[in-house]
Structure 1
Amino acid sequence: MWLFVRGIVGLIKLLGELRIWLVENSFSNKSRRQRFFTKIVKKQVARFGSDLKVNEMCRLNKHVSLKNNVNLNGMEVQGNGKVVIGNNFHSGKDILLITQNHNWKNAKSIPYDDEYILTNIIIEDNVWIGSRVTIIGNTTIGEGSIIQAGSVVVNDIPPLSIVGGHPATVFSKRNKEHYDKCKKENLVM
């Protein structure tokens, strides 16, 4: 019986992955594909602003708020903590945001108990996040920051920072005068 149940669960997972593959690979027209994924995300999130563009499959939830001119290329939110993504956001592929953790500090069992600790992620305006970045909850990514591909963000990122690594650390800053000039003239992608 156990093998039968395990086989059914595996088959269901395989069919789910096949469905995603078929959806992702069945659109030859980029604009149709974008409209399809954007429509799905609009149903997933709590609220969204104008000019939302979704180019790849995303797994978001009702605790996510998207502001204006948000561009997603494949993002997954794990957990029920709040996620706010600011204006003029751009992401690479396969972004992972983790907004909950197990209680391990005062756990009733080892290594943790069944209590979840919800955490929030705030991404301010004009942020660009590279591909395969992981962001752990209780973090704010400051305005105008750039997160290098493959980074793991575990702490707050100051505004106008360029960060990378595991954990992500600041290795450069944007030119504030140039950034402010572009912002004032509304030169956004």
Structure 2
Amino acid sequence: MPHIPLPDDIPGIRGPMAYSPETARPLNELANLLLRTNARHPESTLSEGERELIATYVSAQNDCFFCQTIHGAVASHHLGDADWSLVRSVKGDYVQAPISEKLKALLTVAGSVQQGGKHVTSEQIEAARSEGATDRDIHDTVLIAAAFCMFNRYVDGLGTLAPVDEPDFYRNRAALVVQNGYAASDSN
């Protein structure tokens, strides 16, 4: 049950964004900059699917059902993970997941950011670099993790609604996000 009057038919972060469109615009711009493409920063080696996996992992660590599910669905769409097994393995134990060592090192950094920015260590950064992460990859990982702590707290702090046991809802929304990006009508 939402803590403030939100539209009954708009789940997750989309409800608060409909309530406050003036804040929705910059939040969606941030999501698009962080998750959609690395074309503006060619020194980044992170794919859109990897960026979404970072968002998914942090959201899972924060126990934000809506965000981990929608971003997991978007990651799955980008990565061709039709049964979401890759996403589940990353959320469950990314060290054992079938992902690159670079992404594992970046997820370690993201997990530290989720606990608190000062938990990131020089050793974690060096491990990411040694696996091929660029400074832009490290920057973007930290910012994705920090932003998703905010997004997750926005969603759960307002008690938004989230469809449970409705994978098609998340798959359909993911297809819209992949096609159109994050916007007030199709956001996180």
Bigger radius of gyration: 1
TM-score over 0.5 for the pair: no
More strand per residue: 1
The higher relative CO (CA closer than 8 Å, separation ≥ 6) is in: 2
TM range (shorter): under 0.3
Q: TM-score, normalised by structure 1?
A: 0.24
